């Protein structure tokens, strides 16, 4: 399979180049030249396949012969190695739990698959790779855990000192081995500026084989389509329409779902549920794309004012708004409504949603009113474990939330970080000495 840049359809690369470059040289995002279709027979018999077998069937269509079958199978077995269960709240209303990975968020699927894929290409070339990422807290840990113990790859994670939560900091600073946490005396913007400076520093990039593990990497996007198939597999009544509500920020999760649909997965409608950052809802509803500075909300992983994957959604639909509207419904919900959603689901079903999932729930409730079909399967993607938002949930529900074992263990470990100022020269000196 070849991949093109959303900025230039004639700029074609293979899978390896798309993965290792992350972002196209012209600044565009990589997209497959065609969306392969999945055999109808496979969909009909999907219940007889394991999650990892499903993942393999989808992945090989995009990877082609660039990774051998047994290597691709190894990549999947070592990355898609936790379940995505569909939990029933009541008849036809289901939660797809995507938080069973090591960092308790759905980003583990993408980050782990990308890490193992990059690890494969690095090993094939007998290369060494250094990855530099800035994080405001959450995405960094998924990346760190994904690359943990991958030979040939060192990861340096920059995070702002004193500006991430205790749990987030522990997740970043207790892995060690090939993961180095750099505690920057500055803000998240400083961290991003430092990373950007490093990438344009020719002396540094010539000495270190430096790359980013960008959230828009195609190897992070594709594996997110796996769990839509896995969800469909678990829907008990497949004879009625299915609607999936996706809590959205940068739109990677939603884009992966739309790709699954285009491959032939029978999902009738997607709901792009957004928080007060409503740029996407405006685009879907009135066709105008107007990026805004992001505003802070409870569902902070969705605080995105200029969602980059919109470029990919436009590509999937040849930029035809009416077709986008046929497949996607989108609406914005503020923090008050988010809290209402958490409360309502707990009171009605005894299930604890995190703030991101609550936005998905509220959007689904509203969609029930505007729907046209009589009865349909409703699936809410729960993108994070509620324990990650312990304070808000406990305040809202007055119940105590247990911290899952895999998170609790890192809380007991000793923090290890390298303290650096926000001066670029300090970072450079450290990197040159460390590698
Ligand atoms: C990143 C994230 C989102 C948003 O996903 P996108 O793919 O950026 O739309 C939603 N919920 C959680 C918990 C996240 O970490």
Whichever domain contains 371, its CATH number is 3.40.50.1100
Residue of 224, 281, 302 to mutate, ligand 1, most atoms within 8 A of C-beta:
302
**Containing domain of residue 97, as a range?**
83-106+222-397
Does residue 173 belong to any structural domain of this protein? Answer: no
- Cα–Cα distance, 222 to 225 (Å, whole number): 6
Q: Is the dihedral of CA 60, 62, 67, 68 positive or negative?
A: positive
Residue in the structure block whose two tokens are 């994904």:
146
Supply the pLDDT for residue 137.
75
126 occurs within a structural domain = no
* Lowest-confidence pick of 159-163, 220-224, 246-250: 159-163
Tell me if residue 34 falls in helix, strand or coil.
coil
User: Domain for residue 392, yes or no?
Assistant: yes
Q: Assess if residue 345 is contained within a domain.
A: yes
pLDDT of residue 372: 62
Whether 426 is covered by a domain: the verdict is no
Residue from 25, 69, 90, 107 carrying the catalytic annotation: 107
Tell me how far apart the alpha carbons of residues 394 and 288 are, in angstroms, rounded to a whole number. Answer: 38
Let me know: does 91 contact 104? Beta carbons within 8 Å.
no
Instruction: Summarize pLDDT for 21-53 with one digit per residue, the tens.
Output: 998 889 899 999 999 999 999 999 999 999 999
E strand or H helix at 244: strand 242-247
Indicate if ligand 1 lies below 6 Å from the C-beta of 138: yes
Ligand 1 center to 300 CA (angstroms): 9
Q: Say yes or no: CB of residue 383 within 6 Å of ligand 1.
A: yes
Q: Is the CB of 103 under 6 A from ligand 1?
A: no
Q: Whose CA is nearest to atom 1 of ligand 1?
A: 301
User: Is 101 part of any domain?
Assistant: yes
Task: Decide: 252 in ligand 1 pocket, CB within 6 A.
Answer: yes
Q: Which of 249, 308, 310 to mutate to test the pocket of ligand 1 (most atoms within 8 A of CB)?
A: 249
State both tokens at 76: 């999947």
Pair of tokens at residue 208: 């270190």
Tokens of 131: 């990855």
- Residue 139 CA to ligand 1 center (angstroms) comes to 9
Between the CA of residue 271 and those of 91, 246, 252, 291, 363, what are the distances in Å? 19, 6, 14, 20, 7
Question: Residue 374: is its pLDDT beyond 80?
Answer: no
Q: Which amino acid residue places its CA nearest to atom 11 of ligand 1? A: 383
10 Å Cβ neighbour count for 412?
8
Residue 410 belongs to a domain? no
pLDDT of residue 256: 98
Q: Say what the pLDDT of residue 404 is.
A: 93
Asked if residue 247 lies in contact with residue 354, where contact means CB atoms within 8 angstroms, the answer is no
Three-class SS state of 148: coil
Mutate which of 107, 227, 387 to test ligand 1's pocket (most atoms within 8 Å of Cβ)?
107
Contact assessment for residue 393 and residue 401, using Cβ atoms and an 8 Å cutoff: yes
249 lines ligand 1 (CB under 6 A): yes
248 lines ligand 1 (CB under 6 A): yes
Is residue 212 predicted with pLDDT exceeding 90? no
Per-residue pLDDT, averaged over 80-97, amounts to 97
Is 224 near ligand 1, meaning CB less than 6 Å away? no
Q: How far apart are CA 119 and CA 278, in angstroms?
A: 37
What's the CA gap between 390 and 177, in Å, rounded?
A: 29
Ligand 1: which of 95, 224, 250 to mutate, judged by most atoms within 8 Å of the beta carbon? 250
Ligand 1 atom having least distance to the Cα of 252: 7
Q: Which of 97, 72, 8, 41 minimizes the C-alpha distance to 223?
A: 72
Residue bearing the CA closest to ligand 1, atom 2:
301
Please return the burial class of 386, using the count of CB atoms within 10 Å of its CB with bins 0-12, 13-18 and 19+. Answer: buried
**Helix residue ranges, H only, 125-248:** 138-147, 166-173, 188-199, 202-207, 218-221, 223-234
Measured distance CA(39)–CA(339) in Å, rounded: 42
Determine whether 116 is an active site residue: no
CB-based contacts of 46: which residues, under 8 Å, 6+ apart? 54, 229, 232, 233
Please give the structure tokens belonging to residue 390: 């312990």
Element (H, E) at 4: strand 3-5
The answer to whether residue 423 sits within a structural domain is no
Half-sphere exposure of 358 (CA within 13 A, CB side): 30
105 lines ligand 1 (CB under 6 A): yes
Q: What is the pLDDT of residues 179-205, one digit of tens each?
A: 999 999 998 889 989 998 998 899 998
Query: Is a pLDDT exceeding 80 seen at residue 138?
Result: no
Structurally, the chain folds into a number of domains equal to 1
């Amino acid at each position: 399979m070849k991949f093109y840049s959303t900025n230039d359809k004639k700029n074609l690369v293979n899978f390896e180049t798309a993965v290792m470059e992350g972002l196209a040289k012209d600044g565009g995002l990589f997209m497959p030249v065609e969306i392969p279709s999945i055999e109808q027979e496979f969909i009909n018999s999907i219940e007889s396949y394991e999650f990892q077998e499903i993942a393999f069937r989808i992945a090989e269509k995009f990877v082609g012969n660039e990774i051998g079958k047994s290597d691709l199978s190894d990549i999947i077995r070592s990355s898609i190695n936790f379940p995505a269960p569909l939990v029933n709240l009541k008849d036809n209303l289901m939660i797809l739990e995507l938080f069973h990975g090591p960092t308790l968020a759905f980003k583990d699927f993408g980050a782990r698959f990308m890490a193992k894929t990059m690890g494969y290409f690095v090993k094939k070339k007998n290369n060494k790779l250094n990855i530099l990422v800035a994080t405001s807290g959450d995405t960094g840990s998924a990346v760190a855990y994904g690359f943990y113990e991958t030979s040939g790859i060192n990861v340096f994670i920059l995070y702002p000192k004193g500006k991430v939560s205790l749990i987030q900091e522990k997740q970043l600073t207790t892995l060690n081995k090939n993961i180095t946490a750099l505690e920057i005396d500055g803000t998240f913007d400083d961290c991003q500026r430092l990373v950007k400076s490093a990438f344009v520093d020719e002396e540094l990039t010539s000495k270190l084989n430096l790359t980013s593990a960008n959230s828009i990497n195609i190897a992070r996007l594709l594996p997110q389509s796996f769990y839509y198939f896995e969800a469909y597999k678990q829907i008990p009544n497949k004879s009625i329409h299915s609607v999936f509500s996706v809590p959205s920020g940068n739109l990677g999760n939603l884009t992966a779902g739309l790709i699954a649909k285009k491959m032939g997965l029978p999902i009738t409608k997607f709901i792009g549920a957004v928080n007060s950052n409503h740029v996407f809802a405006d685009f879907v509803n009135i066709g105008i794309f107007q990026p805004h500075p992001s505003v802070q909300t409870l569902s902070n992983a969705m605080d995105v004012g200029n969602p980059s994957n919109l470029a990919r959604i436009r590509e999937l639909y040849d930029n035809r708004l009416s077709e986008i509207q046929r497949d996607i419904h989108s609406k914005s919900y503020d923090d008050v409504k988010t809290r209402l959603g958490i409360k309502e689901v707990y009171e009605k079903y005894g299930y604890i949603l995190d703030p991101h999932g609550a936005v998905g729930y509220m959007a689904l409730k509203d969609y029930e009113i505007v729907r046209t079909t009589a009865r349909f399967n409703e699936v809410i993607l729960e993108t994070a474990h509620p324990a990650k938002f312990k304070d808000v949930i406990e305040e809202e529900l007055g119940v105590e939330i247990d911290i899952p074992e895999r998170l609790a263990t890192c809380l007991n470990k000793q923090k290890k970080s390298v303290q650096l100022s926000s001066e670029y020269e300090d970072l450079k000196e450290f990197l040159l000495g460390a590698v």
